[in-house]
Chains A and B, each alone.
Chain A
Amino acid sequence: MNAASNPSTVGEGPATRRPARTGPPLTVRSFLPMVLLLGVYVVLALTNPAACSKAAASALAYLGEVLAIMPGIALIMGLFEVWVPKALVQRLMGQGSGPKGVLLAVGLGTAPTGPLYVAFPIAASLGRKGASPSNLVIFLGTWAAVKVPQVMMEARFLGLRFALARLTLTLAALALLGPIAARLLAGWTPPAEAQAGGGAPPKRFPIDSRPNAKGE
């Protein structure tokens, strides 16, 4: 079943069969910012207990939201890395993908809802697969601002005229932002993998010890 390398995936084998990128190990140091912030909480608890409990309550509510959504996003990222060949993303959303790439970026950005920070790792995955920086800026912009449920809520609270005017202006602004971002981010490449630990080599090629995993 596993032989006959999947004909369904577009593109050539090696790109598809890229081994899992090895990220930096989790170190104690990566938790330092959080520990410092907890210190701020302690200081706040001593000086202004009311504000501290309010802050803690909002943080906990927010934490629940984050923890509920992040594992799902990670799973989808894993599937994306394994199934979508680099050549495909490069062709559809890379440099010179033109209006088609922009449309795809808008489509991908509008499709799901969810906070913007969820989209960062997704954008990074797309970037590592060869999507151009301007398309990523457009993708993140539409993710942030152009979502059907959000526009509906805006219309309900602020009026249809306000919501539609702001939506139209936002789309126009994003159309402007794309080319500007392309110029400002010329030559940009995404970090090979989040760089915290410093262990990850800058090389962006298969570095796994067993390149041809199971005898194929």
Chain B
Amino acid sequence: MSITTIIYGLALVGLMTTAFRDRDKAVRSLRIALKAGLNMLPSLLAVVALVGLILGTLGPEVIQKHLGTDSGWLATALAGVIGSITLLPSLVAFPLAASLLRAGAMTATVAMFITTLTMVGTLTAPLEARELGLRFAVVRNLLSLGAAVMIAGAMAVVLR
């Protein structure tokens, strides 16, 4: 069962229950949903266009070329930069990370890449700032980057 099914299942059951108990409430929740969706649309479209550009010019092959063979902390730092600015679905990210390990990258480099990939989002930062405020987005992303550095360092010690 995919996440999409779960989300729509929940939404449908919730809406039906709401409509059954209080028609007014259901209408209001639909109105809020519509407004929220429309408000998010422009920035979402912009992020989508940006992600396409990044993936088109900085695909998995390019990433592997730069992080694969070269070991050393410079590669780890580069992994942090690339992980922070790219958005890859995990179905692409983990096989890519595995190929990096096989190509001779350090554990720290791979850990850095995955952690920044999941937790730091430069591309989605405008979206985050729009929803939660610029200060929140900056603090959260910087803290996550710090966490990624610590995690990468610790991974090098734990898994040597």
Contact = CB atoms under 8 A, between A and B. Distances in A.
A17 to B, nearest CB: 9
B97 interface: yes
A173 B53 contact: no
Interface string B3-33: 1101110110011001001111100111111
Which DSSP category, helix, strand, loop or mixed, fits chain B's interface? helix
Bin the interface of chain B by size: 35 or more
B73 interface: no
Contacts of A181: 139-140, 143
Given A20-B28, A112-B6, A173-B150, A70 B40 contact: yes
Given A112-B6, A120-B132, A169 B151 contact: yes
B28 to A, nearest CB: 5
Given A72-B4, A170-B115, A162 B140 contact: no
A6 B22 contact: yes
Interface string A134-165: 00110011001100001001101110011001
Contacts of A209: none
Nearest to B98: A157
B151 A23 contact: no
Interface in A102-154: 112-117, 120-121, 123-124, 127, 133, 136-137, 140-141, 144-145, 150, 153-154
A59 B22 contact: no
A113 B3 contact: yes
Interface string A36-64: 01101100100000011011111110110
B47 interface: yes
B66 interface: no
Contacts, number: 267
A144 B4 CA distance: 17
Given A26-B39, A66-B44, A72 B11 contact: yes
Given A120-B128, A195-B130, A153 B90 contact: yes
B40 A34 contact: no
Contacts of B107: 162
B111 interface: yes
In the A-B complex, list the 6 residue pairs whose CB atoms are closest, starting with the nearest. A59-B52, A55-B56, A78-B33, A78-B29, A75-B11, A72-B7
Interface of B: 3-4, 6-8, 10-11, 14-15, 18, 21-25, 28-53, 55-57, 59, 87, 89-91, 94-95, 97-98, 101, 107, 110-111, 114-115, 118-119, 121, 124, 126-128, 130-133, 135-136, 139-140, 143-144, 147, 150-151, 154-155, 158-159
Interface of A: 1-2, 6, 19-24, 26, 30-31, 33-34, 37-38, 40-41, 44, 51-52, 54-60, 62-63, 65-66, 68-79, 81-83, 112-117, 120-121, 123-124, 127, 133, 136-137, 140-141, 144-145, 150, 153-154, 156-158, 161-162, 165-166, 169-170, 173-174, 176-177, 180-181, 184-185, 188, 190-191, 193-196, 213-214
20 contacts: A34-B46, A38-B49, A52-B56, A59-B55, A62-B48, A62-B52, A62-B87, A73-B7, A74-B33, A76-B14, A77-B33, A81-B29, A82-B28, A114-B3, A123-B131, A124-B131, A150-B90, A165-B155, A173-B150, A181-B140
